[in-house]
Amino acid sequence: MYSNKFNAIVSATKELANKLEYKDINIQKIDEYTSFSRASIYYYFHNKEEIFIYILTEEYNKIIAEIQQLKNTDIKMTKNTFADKMARIFDQHHLMLKLISNNLTDLQEKSRMTYLIKFKKSYGNFLATYDNCLKKFFPNLSKDQIENINYAFFPFLYGIYPFSSVTDKQKEGLTKAGFIYKPHSVYNLVFNMLITIL
């Protein structure tokens, strides 16, 4: 659907995002990383935010497919099994968690409406797919209970990245402030949250 150049720009931006902080990435860095001219990048994207909202949309679409695949299984789900399966899914999407934790408002505000609408549709499908998965595996939950679970779980996702990806400088600061740093993985944080709210 998209050109090789478009895909190369997206791929390069993902690689940069896995190495650098969002604030340190700009069109010039993407240009240097891809060897495309800035004009080529601007042909597809007006700014870096549009590239990242596209990446975030892709991430949500991947999670939708993974949750849908889980929903289509005939596995008997206990709270522990469900929490484990979901934790494994989210543990594979650190970039998504990083972007929604640090930059979501910026990405949405600075993207053209075409990218924003695609993102919002993907996000809506993500919520609906997760909701349908809950309904399938926990049919005794009322509509209000599912809504309460969702209102606890989804805002939690927006803050999970800083707890699971602590920098060396942050660890040093915690130590010097008298705290004992205890590492947390995305898997453990999601698992424990779902066990608590289900």
Of the residues 9, 29, 44, which one is the last residue of a structural domain? 44
Same domain? For 148 and 186 the reply is: yes
Same domain, 145 and 71: yes
Give 145-195 pLDDT, tens digit per residue.
Answer: 999 999 999 999 999 998 898 888 988 998 899 988 888 999 999 999 999
Mean pLDDT of 114-123: 95
On whether both 165 and 129 belong to a single domain, the answer is yes
Distance separating alpha carbons of residues 155 and 100, to the nearest angstrom? 10
Measured CA to CA, the distance from residue 123 to residue 53 in angstroms comes to 11
> Rounded CA gap, 174 and 181, in Å?
7
Q: Do 3 and 84 share a domain, yes or no?
A: no
Per-residue pLDDT tens for 130-157? 999 999 999 999 999 999 999 999 999 9
115 and 29, same domain (yes or no) = no
Q: What are phi and psi of 179, to 5 degrees?
A: -100, 150
Does 1 have pLDDT greater than 70? no
- Same domain, yes or no, for 95 and 138? yes
Domain co-membership, 18 together with 111 = no
Q: How far apart, in whole angstroms, are the C-alpha atoms of residue 195 and residue 156?
A: 13
Number of domains forming the structure of the chain: 2
Q: Are residues 86 and 159 in the same domain?
A: yes
Same-domain status, 127 and 191: yes
Nearest 5 degrees, angle CA 137-CA 139-CA 140? 130
Average pLDDT, the chain: 93
Residue 3 belongs to what domain range? 1-44
- The CATH code of the domain that includes 18 is 1.10.10
Q: How many CB atoms lie within 10 A of CB 73?
A: 11
pLDDT digits (tens, 9 = 90+) for 70-109: 999 998 899 999 999 999 999 999 999 999 998 889 899 9
